[in-house]
């Protein structure tokens, strides 16, 4: 862990931004790089039943452009001289985060948990929980 990159999966939420503080602190302590991962998932829910005025490829491009802008803004605010990599992927968040987590160069994952409980916990995918269960490296979950 002490010589490999720290992975920070983000959905650009306030909770995820709070976890970034831990990532930067630990990366500076161990003098390791940071890899920031954002996964663009296929939109689901009632909004998919409306008539689309743009093509699916245009929608995917718009989502990727928005994520790239957020990633650029985030990088401009980071206060570290360490190596920082960014990745934007398309697919299922759990699958994509696990694929990156279980690569040989990741020593630790720092991921935010939205802290859902009760019915909300059962209705929403819990990415952090799935990563903790299936990761091959240590995982720090930040609330």
**CATH number for the domain including 9?**
3.40.50.620
pLDDT of residue 62: 87
pLDDT of residue 137: 94
Q: Which domain holds residue 24?
A: 5-142
Q: How many domains does the chain have?
A: 1
pLDDT of residue 81: 82
Q: Is the pTM of this model over 0.85?
A: no
Pairing mode, if any, of strands 106-112 and 5-9? parallel
Task: Please give the chain's pLDDT, 143 residues, in tens.
Answer: 678 999 999 999 888 888 999 999 999 999 999 999 999 987 654 555 555 566 777 877 888 899 999 988 888 887 678 899 999 999 999 999 999 999 889 999 999 987 554 444 344 458 898 999 999 999 999 98
């Amino acid at each position: 862990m002490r010589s490999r990159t720290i992975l920070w999966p983000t959905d650009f939420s306030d909770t995820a931004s709070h976890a970034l503080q831990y990532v930067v602190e630990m990366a500076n302590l161990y003098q390791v790089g940071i890899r920031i991962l954002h996964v663009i998932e296929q939109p689901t829910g009632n909004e998919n039943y409306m008539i689309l005025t743009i093509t699916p490829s245009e929608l995917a491009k718009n989502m990727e452009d928005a994520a790239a802008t957020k990633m650029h803004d985030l990088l401009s605010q980071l206060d570290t001289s360490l190596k920082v990599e960014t990745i934007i992927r398309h697919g299922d968040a759990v699958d994509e985060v696990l694929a990156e987590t279980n690569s040989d160069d990741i020593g630790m994952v720092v991921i935010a948990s939205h802290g859902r409980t009760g019915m909300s916990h059962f209705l929403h995918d819990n990415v952090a929980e799935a990563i903790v269960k299936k990761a091959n490296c240590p995982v720090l979950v930040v609330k």
